Amino acid sequence: MDPRWTLITFCAVGYLVGSLPVGYWATRWRRLGLDIRGYGSGNVGTANVYRHAGFSLAVWVGPAQFLQGVVPLLLAQHVGGVSAAGLVLVGVAAVLGNGWSPFLGFEGGRGVAVSTGAVAGLNLIALALLLACFAAGALRHRIAEGVLAGFVAIPVAAVVLAASPLHASWALCAGFALFLLVILARRLEGVGRDAAQYGDLGHLVRDRVLHDRRPGRPLVGHRTDQAGPADAHHVS
């Protein structure tokens, strides 16, 4: 197959795999139709699933989302015919699928777990740095800040990695920077609507970017910002 079509095919596979809303589907199935988007942060990721559907479900959702990022890359590496820069594009496609899923009306998750899986498939040194930042944030009870710090750190680290040729490091830098941009875009989704409703755009942007917090979306319980899907089911 022409290398260009090989790359396009794997990018399409990456986007499709990344777009599967496993957290949303799992809670609908195991919690009698619960729409996780109507609770807490409104996110379909592991943390919101844990808070509103329980550990027994979240313990499967988290690894599944990680695999959504790493499996397309492992598949492309196994089949071959995709350059180092092409592998980065496959990872980016998976992350974009998670953030803008056609199964959720082109809304989606924050991209953190899928991006972490993609980083794992691209460079283990970057993965170690990312997980260290996650751990530091968790120890300080500032997980959102740890996530942000990790995704800021890995593009910078990519340019000095000795494990790859220079051109591959630049490709990694660009890909990791795109992961960061996706995460920021998902955190800032709808900030204009919130500013119109609650005011103080600057404060809202800081809260979104640094702490991943939105007014009307408590950690636990129903959303009160009137932006989420209606859901008649209660958390069990």
pLDDT digits (tens, 9 = 90+) for 160-197: 775 555 555 788 899 999 999 999 999 999 898 888 88
> In this predicted model, what pLDDT tens digit does every residue of 87-112 receive, in sequence order?
999 999 999 999 999 999 999 999 99
Task: Please tell me the distance from the alpha carbon of residue 17 to that of residue 43, in angstroms, as a whole number.
Answer: 18
> How many other CB atoms sit within 10 Å of the CB of residue 106?
10
pLDDT in the model for residue 229 = 52
Distant-in-sequence, close-in-space partners of 71: CB < 8 Å, separation ≥ 6: 17, 117
pLDDT in the model for residue 1 = 66
> In this predicted model, what pLDDT tens digit does every residue of 68-85 receive, in sequence order?
999 999 999 999 889 989
The whole model's pTM is what?
A: 0.89
Mean pLDDT, to the nearest integer, of 53-57?
A: 87
Position 232 pLDDT exceeds 70: no
> How many other CB atoms sit within 10 Å of the CB of residue 132?
14
Higher pLDDT pick, 123 / 219: 123
Q: What percent of the chain has pLDDT over 90?
A: 58
Are 45 and 116 within 8 A, CB to CB?
no
Position 230 pLDDT exceeds 50: no
- Least confident residue range of 66-75, 129-138, 214-223: 214-223
Position 233 pLDDT exceeds 60: no
pLDDT in the model for residue 164 = 55
> In this predicted model, what pLDDT tens digit does every residue of 112-134 receive, in sequence order?
999 999 999 999 999 999 999 99
Task: Show me where the domains of the chain are located.
Answer: 3-211
pLDDT in the model for residue 236 = 30
